[in-house]
Structure 1
Amino acid sequence: MVKSTISIRVDENLKKATEETLDSMGLNITTTFTIFAKTIVKEQHFSFEITADSFYSEENQAYLKREIKVLENNESTPS
């Protein structure tokens, strides 16, 4: 298979943040773009989500803090 080069320009800070995020997922920009391109071709639309570890997301941390508070106060959680 013949390989081709794609060159894109992005803000340096965005590039660095992207590389750090992808590294935390065990990926790099080339692999990520290949996944993206193959999915676009196969499904003919944007239909996937790749995320970094969501355990540390602000939303999840807020949820965990609320639940810890409930447990500490011996409250029951609404069903």
Structure 2
Amino acid sequence: MSTVATQIRIDKTVKEQSTELFSSLGMDMSSAVNIFLRQCILHGGLPFAVEIPHYSQQTLKAAEEARKISRDPDACSYDSVSALKKALEE
């Protein structure tokens, strides 16, 4: 089977993260893209749904709060459920 070179433009961070992921799976970017393209051919389209998710305002607020907490160096953290329980009981 002959191959042809193809160029695509990818966000730098997406490329770094996906290269790391594919490496952990024992493949390179080229192999992963080939798998994706073959799946597109088999499915006659994208092999997954492309849609805009509809989250409730409550879910969106909770996600934003979680992001803020995760970036806060002063946020409490716990090594175990028992440590969390102890802190809640105090």
Q: Report the TM-score, using the length of structure 1 for normalisation.
A: 0.52
Percentage of pairs with the same residue? 21
Mind listing any 5+ residue stretches in structure 2 that lack a counterpart? 49-79, 86-90
Mind listing any 5+ residue stretches in structure 1 that lack a counterpart? 49-67, 74-79
Match of 1:20 in 2: 20
Alignment root-mean-square deviation, CA: 2.2
Q: Report the TM-score, using the length of structure 2 for normalisation.
A: 0.47
After TM superposition, give the deviation of residue 46 of structure 1 in Å: 2.5
Higher relative contact order (CA 8 A, sep 6+): 1
Distance in structure 1 (CA, Å) of the matches to 2:81 and 2:12: 41
Aligned residues: 52
Structure 1 stretches of at least 4 aligned residues deviating more than 4 Å after TM superposition:
none
